[in-house]
């Protein structure tokens, strides 16, 4: 296996350029440079138990990390900063098991939006309260679009 490395601007270090890492770094680059996600509000490989609002005992025994979490300010009345979007990156074809995994994580994280991505596609999900089901689009909206949807509860 090659020891090639890729720079992670969030963790500010070089990491092994594994297939999933390449997906992650390409997506982060796009999020920052094309979609207006503030670099300072993005976390990579975030330990879920380190999130301030997760204190549930049933989750505490499980060591879980989110590939990417983007936070936003002033979108939750109880926290100054709160998960806006959680993304799971995969090196393989997206399938229902992957979708179930990320939606399962979000049961605890409670990000307003979740997404799954691979090299070729990204699907963004949100829970539509009125219809009581998840809706999705086959792209990643911009930071401002997601934030505005939460602020004006248009999701």
CATH number at residue 103: 3.90.1570.30
Query: From CA 110, how far away is CA 7, in angstroms rounded?
Result: 29
The whole-number pLDDT of residue 132 equals 81
With a cut of 80, say whether residue 3 has pLDDT above it: no
The whole-number pLDDT of residue 19 equals 93
Residue-wise over 77-112: b if at least 16 C-beta within 10 A, else e?
Answer: eeeeebbbbbbbbbeeebeeebbeebbebbebbebb
Q: What is the number of domains present in the chain?
A: 1
Q: Work out whether the CA dihedral 124, 97, 3, 11 comes out positive or negative.
A: positive
98-153: pLDDT as tens digits: 888 888 888 878 899 999 999 999 999 998 777 888 899 999 999 999 999 998 87
Residue 46, domain extent: 19-151
The answer to whether position 131 is within a domain reads: yes
Q: What average pLDDT does the segment 9-28 reach? A: 95
The answer to whether position 1 is within a domain reads: no
The whole-number pLDDT of residue 1 equals 47
pTM of the model: 0.87
23-64: pLDDT as tens digits: 999 999 999 999 999 999 999 987 766 676 666 545 555 567
The answer to whether position 10 is within a domain reads: no
Q: What average pLDDT does the segment 2-11 reach? A: 89
The whole-number pLDDT of residue 137 equals 94
The answer to whether position 2 is within a domain reads: no
The answer to whether position 6 is within a domain reads: no
């Amino acid at each position: 296996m090659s020891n090639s490395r890729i720079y992670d601007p969030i963790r500010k270090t070089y990491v092994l350029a594994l297939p999933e890492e390449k997906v992650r770094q390409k997506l982060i680059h796009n999020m920052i440079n094309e979609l207006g996600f503030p670099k300072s509000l993005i976390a990579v490989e975030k330990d879920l138990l380190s999130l301030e609002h997760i204190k549930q005992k049933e989750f505490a025994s499980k060591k879980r990390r989110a590939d990417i979490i983007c936070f936003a300010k002033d979108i939750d009345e109880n926290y100054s900063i709160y998960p806006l979007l959680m993304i799971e990156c995969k090196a393989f074809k997206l399938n229902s098991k992957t979708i179930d995994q990320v939606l399962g994580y979000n049961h605890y994280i409670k990000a307003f939006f979740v997404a799954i991505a691979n090299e070729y596609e990204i699907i963004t999900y949100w829970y539509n309260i009125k219809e009581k089901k998840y809706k999705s689009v086959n792209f990643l909206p911009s930071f401002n679009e997601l934030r505005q949807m939460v602020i004006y509860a248009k999701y």
